[in-house]
């Protein structure tokens, strides 16, 4: 059974610092990797996706993927109080279950002003 593990936190960082969020997954056949942000009582909002090993940057966000280590991370630079939310790691694949996302339990991030 596929599993996605995240540190539940809470993780607190001061405003302007770098927040580092980590995720590991169990299924080596996983192909697509996503980071969602979820504010309390709201739906998951897609903020980053990555398919290949290495880094992918989008504004203040960088996703890192290491398939050999089965590890995905999200870096948030210049963290803002508005980044305070729960960050969900989600994994898609392998091909037998290509279309369903398996979610981690999320890491709660608090950015302190």
Residues that bind other proteins (CB under 8 A): 31-32, 34, 36, 42-46, 49, 51, 88, 90, 92-93, 97-106
- Quick count: other Cβ atoms within 10 Å of Cβ 1? 5
Q: What is the largest CA-CA distance in the chain?
A: 45
Pick the closer one to other proteins by CB: 10 or 14: 10
Distance separating alpha carbons of residues 104 and 42, to the nearest angstrom: 17
| Contact present, 75 and 28 (Cβ < 8 Å) | no
Nearest approach, Cβ of residue 50 and other proteins (Å):
11
Nearest approach, Cβ of residue 79 and other proteins (Å):
23
Pick the closer one to other proteins by CB: 4 or 109: 4
| Contact present, 49 and 31 (Cβ < 8 Å) | no
Nearest approach, Cβ of residue 43 and other proteins (Å):
5
């Amino acid at each position: 059974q596929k599993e996605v593990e995240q540190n539940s936190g809470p993780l607190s960082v001061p405003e302007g610092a770098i927040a580092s969020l980590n995720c590991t997954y169990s299924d080596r056949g996983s192909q697509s990797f996503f980071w969602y942000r979820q504010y309390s009582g709201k739906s998951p909002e897609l903020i980053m996706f990555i398919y290949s090993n290495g880094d992918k940057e989008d504004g203040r966000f960088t996703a890192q993927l290491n398939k050999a280590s089965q590890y995905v991370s999200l870096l948030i630079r210049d963290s803002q109080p508005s980044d305070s939310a729960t960050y969900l790691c989600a994994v898609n694949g392998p091909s037998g279950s290509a279309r369903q996302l398996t979610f981690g339990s999320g890491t709660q991030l608090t950015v302190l002003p």
